[in-house]
Amino acid sequence: MGLTWRERAFTALLGAAAVSGLTTLILFLVEATNILLPADTKFGIVFDAGSSHTSLFVYQWLANKENDTGVVSQALACRAKGPGISSYASDPAQAGESLQGCLEAALALIPKAKHQQTPMFLGATGGMRLLSQKNSSQAEDVFAAVSQALSRSPVAFWGAELLAGQDEGALGWVTINYVLGLLVQYSFSGEWIQPLEGTLVGALDMGGASTQITFVPGGPILDTTTQATFRLYGTEHSVYTHSYLCFGRDQMLNRLLAGLVQSSPSLLVRHPCYHSGYRGTLALAPLYGSPCVQAAAPRDLGQNLTVEGTGNPGACVAAIRGLFNFSSCDGRGDCAFDRVYQPPVRGQFYVEASSPGQDGQLRDYCASGLYILTLLLEGYGFSQETWGGIEFRKQAGGTDIGWTLGYMLNLTSLIPAEAPAQWRAQSYGVWVAGVVFLVLTLTAILGATVVQLWLRD
């Protein structure tokens, strides 16, 4: 037997009341979630345009800051397709196009309502430094093309610039110490506190074109050109930092091979760092295209070079040592190599060494390993006693180690925090939702009771 029209009306009224109550409850919970957030979440985008590739990072932080510095976390890491932007010197437009895939991924992650307030910056490192030395006009064209492509996005584009080597090293130091919780950390009592002094670690960065060293020395920094100062979370930090252009992994391999070519009477080169049995052919012209290669080039760069591996570690180390000028520091305790001032290394260090790219080959592994060993021991001055304090990492705390996070931390001090009025607005919204929820619920109950009494009559 079917329901009477009165019973159907009663059922419909109860259903409407339930839907209204549930909808209001959902709105209430959404508003209640907002009040649990200390403040509005902000986002930032940073492109790291290195010599071998470009990476994009999206960072987020809460608008209320701790001693004028944001507590930042990594929300996205994306590696752009293709090589570094310096490789597009002959076709600058492609440099901008190569960044679009990662940019679209970032824009999909960040809420559209926050796009206009999201800063975006591209910092170019060793590869573009070399291109600027070799052909400043081409470097300017690449930067112009990249800027034009990125400025079309809906976010706030802050520019594409050449990042100084000192800044790259110092900002990398900030990143490592931040992700390790050595600049600021959350206590069990629910407060942000400053860690004990003397726990900060040093940073070593081995890129494709350059290498950087940054640490807090045990005494005063005598050469102010090697000093960088930051004020983070209410504390001032002063570090020693220096960047060595042409001492990155890829440029080291080029310089090493060019030196062997120069000492060979023919275009057949026996490479002590390549494994025995290796034999390969490569074009000469690209080898001498970098400003880092100072060796005299053969007259006919259109020829090919044949390289055979001999697998001789002793001869390999001797060839690698020839890339340094160690004698310029003889008798000086505050010198690394090439007459560069450096205080004695101190404390624990984290090393970020670039791995071979997609075109990396097994032949280069021996040279790369022995080069890093020579750089650390004879260049930077690590010893058997201090070697145990070195850790090789690509990430720390789930965050990529590099200069980009340090840049964003420093940037947050320039972005104002939200006004307290927003807290009042959020709280008011929660109370309004709660009142509306109670009113609708009581109305639904009252209506259902009336109808039920009506059906009984």
> How far apart are the two ends of the chain, measured CA to CA in Å?
21
Output the pLDDT for position 431.
Answer: 38
pLDDT value for 299: 78
**What ranges do the domains of the chain cover?**
5-38+424-456, 40-163
Query: Active site includes 168?
Result: yes
Q: How many residues does the chain have?
A: 457
State the pLDDT at residue 396: 75
pTM, 2 dp = 0.78
Pair type for strands 202-206 and 349-353:
parallel
In tens digits, the chain (457 residues) has pLDDT values of 455 545 554 454 445 555 455 444 444 443 433 344 344 899 999 999 999 899 999 999 987 766 667 789 999 999 999 999 999 999 999 999 999 999 999 999 999 999 999 999 999 999 999 999 999 999 999 999 999 999 999 999 999 999 999 999 999 999 999 998 888 765 555 555 666 666 899 999 998 999 999 999 999 999 999 999 988 888 888 999 999 999 999 999 999 999 999 988 888 999 999 999 999 999 989 899 899 998 888 878 888 999 999 999 999 999 999 999 999 998 888 999 999 999 999 999 999 876 554 445 788 999 999 999 999 999 999 998 888 899 988 877 778 889 999 999 888 765 655 543 333 233 334 333 444 444 455 555 555 554 454 445 5
Contacts of 168 (CB under 8 A, 6+ apart): 123, 125, 205, 210, 212, 243, 403
Q: Given this model, what pLDDT does residue 445 score? A: 53
Please determine, looking at this structure, whether the domain spanning 40-163 carries the CATH number 2.30.31.20.
no
Q: What is the DSSP string of 91-148?
A: -HHHHHHTTHHHHHHHHHHS-GGGSTT-EEEEEE-HHHHHHHHH-HHHHHHHHHHHHH
β 390-392/395-396 pair status: unpaired
7, 31, 97, 168: the active-site residue: 168
What is the structure's pLDDT at 4? 58
Burial class from Cβ neighbours inside 10 Å (0-12, 13-18, 19+) for residue 4 reads exposed
pLDDT, residue 183, reads: 85
Per-residue pLDDT at 105: 97
